[in-house]
Structure 1
Amino acid sequence: MSSSPLNPLNSAGTTSELPEIDWRAPWFSAVAAPAQAALAGDDWRGALSSLAANAGLVSGQGRALRFVAQDELPAGVAYEAFIASTGGVPTRRNLHDFFNALIWLTFPGGKAALNARQSSAIAADGVQSTRGATRDAATLFDENAVVFACSDGALGAALRAFDWQTLFVARRADWGRACEVQPFGHALLEKLVTPYKSVTAHAWIVDVPQTYFEWPDARRREWLDAQIAPTLASACLTTRDFSPLPVLGIPGWWPANDDPAFYRDVAVFRSGRRERARAD
């Protein structure tokens, strides 16, 4: 496949060190359009800020969202607290922060909920070297999560049980009509610029109605955003609430997984804690 390159120059003509990206990759389907629109000009940070303003996006404290230079973050002020109180998201001209901005545009409710939660914790406890279980889980969601939307509980159960043969082989035809994955973590998308077999996301399972799979993609993401935001805002979270998901195993995401032998690689498609415990 040919690649659509990121614009390597910013408005000052200096290198932004962003690599080429093939926006046709399925894991970029939600962010490809705003990404390419922003990269059509010289200032992608400003372009994404305009998209956020047009959509009425806000921070965790309801401040109008925009993407600002990293040096606007004052020394000694926590990143999440600054976003919440000012609406400015410090955004370096690198791939990690580019995808972070794109996820703000894609799941604004979820991102604002995480921002509110993190900034409130900082206000209450200060910036600590140890965040605690809930903040660790919130950070994991922000960086590496996918939302596993599922209308059939058996598929969610297969994911939780590390039952890759059921999830990816026996029930392969049900992908796209009874389950799907929507990427949320911006670090995950960064890794998928140069994909490798062992890239593993932390899947958050969301039950959806069967009619969900009849909706347009944008409506699906809007619905999911509304579902996950209250949980991310206030529910008790732990890292054990996630299920590991090797994303290149998702049907349609990687040509090699058309062969069932792809899933026999136990270094990637592991048996999981419960299976290993029984074996011991």
Structure 2
Amino acid sequence: MAAGGLSAADAARALAAIDWQRPWLAPYRVLGQLAVQQVVQGAGVAQALNALVEQGQVPDPGVYFAAQDALPAGLSYERFIFEQRRVPTREHLHDFFNGLIWLHWPRAKRQLNAWQAQAIAQDGIGARRGPLRDAITLLDENGALLCAPPALVAALEQRQWQRAFLELRPLWRQARLHLFGHALLEKLVQPRKPITAHVLQALPAIETVASADAWLATQLSAEALAGKPFNPVPVLGVPGWDEGNAAAGFYDDPLVFRPPRTA
């Protein structure tokens, strides 16, 4: 059993249970299924992810996946990745999805890692991460990128849930919610209505993950990110992402679709 991970058999069972027909997994389906197939056949998670690169299934992301025990004691995870270009990877759903994000969003992941490493070099590792590292962690673990018409963006920012998801429902055909956070993807293996993403607004025209990766790597500044420019979006509210959300009552749950904050 890898440190902090599962046994190889348990990891294989967990990965085999992923429902790749879920709409939010569509961008990751092809590579994800190939990697799962290799894990089920006996490969470790890191080995399976590396094989996708070595076999030419995906361009080189600029990092190599390694077993968790490659990380030396006392060295921060982020600094190790920045200096060694190796990503410590456990036999676990969490790290499996982290690897898939590295393969699909390599430019954004490298940029976030560079900012993390720079902040650590400047401030060290303390009890608190600081605003930039905290925001990077939110994005990396639970973030998403929304590309949508302005009216839809405004309704979501103002937490006008009925307007965003019902009145403006046709506008979702012009929208894309690209899930970036690997912990978010892990949670959605067992979908629950309260699961909420920290969402960044991007340009409406971004339709593919590759374009979203380029936007996130080049257009988002460290200063802007440190301000935590996120909006909460319960992801199962997205039309087509839950069988029940075509009904108005789906959005009446105040514990999930919370009202705007008062001053």
State TM-score, norm by structure 1. Answer: 0.84
SS state of the match for residue 235, structure 1?
helix
- 2:37 aligned partner: 40
CA distance, structure 2, for counterparts of residue 57 and residue 267 of structure 1: 39
Counterpart mapping for 1:40-119 below 5 A: 40-41=37-38, 42-43=42-43, 44-52=45-53, 54=56, 55-58=59-62, 65-119=63-117
Greater shift after overlay, 42-51 or 76-85? 42-51
Q: Post-superposition shift, 1:232? A: 4.9
Q: Post-superposition shift, 1:231? A: 4.5
Matched letter for residue 137 of structure 2: T
**Distance change in 2, residues 1:134/1:48 (3 Å):** same
Counterpart mapping for 1:191-206 below 5 A: 191-206=187-202
Matched letter for residue 165 of structure 1: Q
Q: Post-superposition shift, 1:226? A: 0.8
- 2:18 aligned partner: 21
Matched letter for residue 185 of structure 1: G
SS state of the match for residue 181, structure 1?
strand
Can you list the C-alpha shifts for 1:36-62, whole angstroms capped at 9, x where unaligned? 10122221421211334541211xxxx
- 2:230 aligned partner: 242
- 2:152 aligned partner: 155
CA distance, structure 2, for counterparts of residue 86 and residue 9 of structure 1: 26
Query: Percent same amino acid at aligned positions?
Result: 42
- 1:224 aligned partner: 212
Say if 2:153 is the partner of 1:165: no
- 1:262 aligned partner: 250
Q: Post-superposition shift, 1:18? A: 4.8
Can you list the C-alpha shifts for 1:121-180, whole angstroms capped at 9, x where unaligned? 111211111111111111100000111112x21111111100111210011111132x12
Q: Post-superposition shift, 1:233? A: 5.8
Greater shift after overlay, 76-85 or 232-241? 232-241
CA distance, structure 2, for counterparts of residue 154 and residue 129 of structure 1: 40
- State whether residues 133 and 239 of structure 1, in contact with CA within 8 Å, keep that contact through their aligned partners in structure 2: yes
Structure 2, unaligned runs of 5 or more: 1-5
CA distance, structure 2, for counterparts of residue 52 and residue 236 of structure 1: 33
Matched letter for residue 173 of structure 2: G
CA distance, structure 1, for counterparts of residue 137 and residue 106 of structure 2: 16
Matched letter for residue 38 of structure 1: A
CA distance, structure 1, for counterparts of residue 134 and residue 12 of structure 2: 29
CA distance, structure 2, for counterparts of residue 170 and residue 240 of structure 1: 28
- 1:252 aligned partner: 240
State TM-score, norm by structure 2. Answer: 0.89
- State whether residues 7 and 91 of structure 2, in contact with CA within 8 Å, keep that contact through their aligned partners in structure 1: no
CA distance, structure 2, for counterparts of residue 37 and residue 233 of structure 1: 34
Matched letter for residue 50 of structure 2: S
- 1:4 aligned partner: none
Aligned residues: 249
CA distance, structure 2, for counterparts of residue 83 and residue 149 of structure 1: 30
**Distance change in 2, residues 1:9/1:37 (3 Å):** farther
